[in-house]
């Protein structure tokens, strides 16, 4: 009887542990999914030292629809006075004659933003490296706060990375283009949820998984 009682006690502990693990497996992704969705639908762009446009694909100097939507949003909030400078960030793909950052800067100047108000940081083919690169530029400028322009479901992860690297960050997501909320894409939402989880569980421990998909 004594051994049977011990076996039953051990079984109960194992069952509780398995239940707790299963609960975590379900609850944590759901929590991340909810935070990603909420951040996209409830942005709070704040006045900052700089606006950062995260890079996306460009074609020989011509911004893709995704990048153009980000640039248009950056110009809009710059005109509103949310920040006095815009930083475009992003490297080029192998064989490119230009970069995402350079293409973005050129577009902004062509659309009425003064050249001395736009800085191109031509580094970064994924979100984390891009964040490291523009944060380094911000430090040179003495800037401490940033409003990030990107796609809605990318807001949570991009602002989290910026905060982890010491910046005060908010997000102003695109209002137009293929990744605007009007064109809801559950696959993008799920992908961003997975990428956010990968960052907070692995990235913060120095294990970075590139999210480069030609967009950010």
DSSP letters, the chain, are: -HHHHHHHHHHHHHHHHHHHHHHHHHHHHHHHHHHHHHHHHS------SEEEE----EETTEEPHHHHHHHHHHHHHHHHTS-S-EEEE----TT-SS-HHHHHHHHHHHTT--GGGEEEE---SSHHHHHHHHHHHHHHHT--EEEEE--GGGHHHHHHHHHHTT-EEEE---SSSTTSGGG--HHHHHHHHHHHHHHHHTGGGT-PPP--SS--
Domain residue ranges in the chain: 43-184
Cut 0.85: pTM above it: yes
Angle at 71 between CA 39 and CA 127, to 5 degrees: 55
pLDDT in tens, the chain (216 residues): 444 544 555 556 666 666 556 555 677 888 899 999 999 999 999 999 999 999 999 999 999 999 999 999 999 999 999 999 999 999 998 888 999 999 999 999 999 999 999 999 999 999 999 999 999 999 999 999 999 999 999 999 999 999 999 999 999 999 999 999 999 999 999 999 999 999 998 999 888 888 764 444
User: Which pLDDT score, from 0 to 100, does residue 15 have?
Assistant: 61
Three-class secondary structure of residue 50 per DSSP: strand
Does the domain spanning 43-184 belong to CATH 3.40.50.620?
Answer: yes
User: Which pLDDT score, from 0 to 100, does residue 215 have?
Assistant: 45
Q: Are 131 and 215 in contact (CB under 8 A)?
A: no
CA distances for 9 relative to 19, 23, 156, angstroms: 15, 21, 43
User: Which pLDDT score, from 0 to 100, does residue 96 have?
Assistant: 87
Angle at 151 between CA 150 and CA 152, to 5 degrees: 115
Q: Are 7 and 136 in contact (CB under 8 A)?
A: no
Q: Are 67 and 55 in contact (CB under 8 A)?
A: yes
Q: Are 165 and 63 in contact (CB under 8 A)?
A: no
């Amino acid at each position: 009887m004594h051994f049977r009682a011990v076996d039953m006690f051990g079984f109960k502990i194992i069952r509780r542990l398995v239940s707790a693990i299963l609960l975590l497996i379900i609850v944590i992704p759901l929590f991340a999914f909810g935070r990603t969705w909420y951040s996209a639908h409830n942005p709070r762009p704040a006045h900052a030292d700089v606006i950062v446009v995260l890079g996306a694909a460009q074609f020989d100097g011509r911004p893709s629809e995704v990048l153009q939507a980000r640039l248009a949003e950056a110009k809009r909030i710059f005109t509103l006075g949310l920040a006095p400078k815009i930083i475009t960030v992003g490297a080029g793909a192998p064989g490119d004659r230009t970069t995402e950052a350079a293409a973005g800067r050129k577009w902004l100047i062509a659309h009425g933003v003064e050249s001395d108000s736009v800085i191109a940081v031509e580094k970064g083919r994924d979100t984390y490296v891009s964040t490291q690169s523009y944060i380094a530029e911000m430090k040179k400028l003495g800037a401490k706060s940033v409003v990030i322009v990107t796609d809605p479901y990318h807001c949570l992860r991009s602002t989290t990375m910026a905060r982890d690297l010491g910046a005060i960050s908010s997000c102003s997501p695109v209002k137009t283009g293929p990744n605007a909320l009007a064109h809801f894409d559950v696959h993008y939402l799920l992908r961003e949820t997975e990428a956010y989880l990968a960052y907070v569980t692995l990235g913060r421990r120095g294990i970075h998984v590139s999210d480069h998909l030609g967009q950010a």
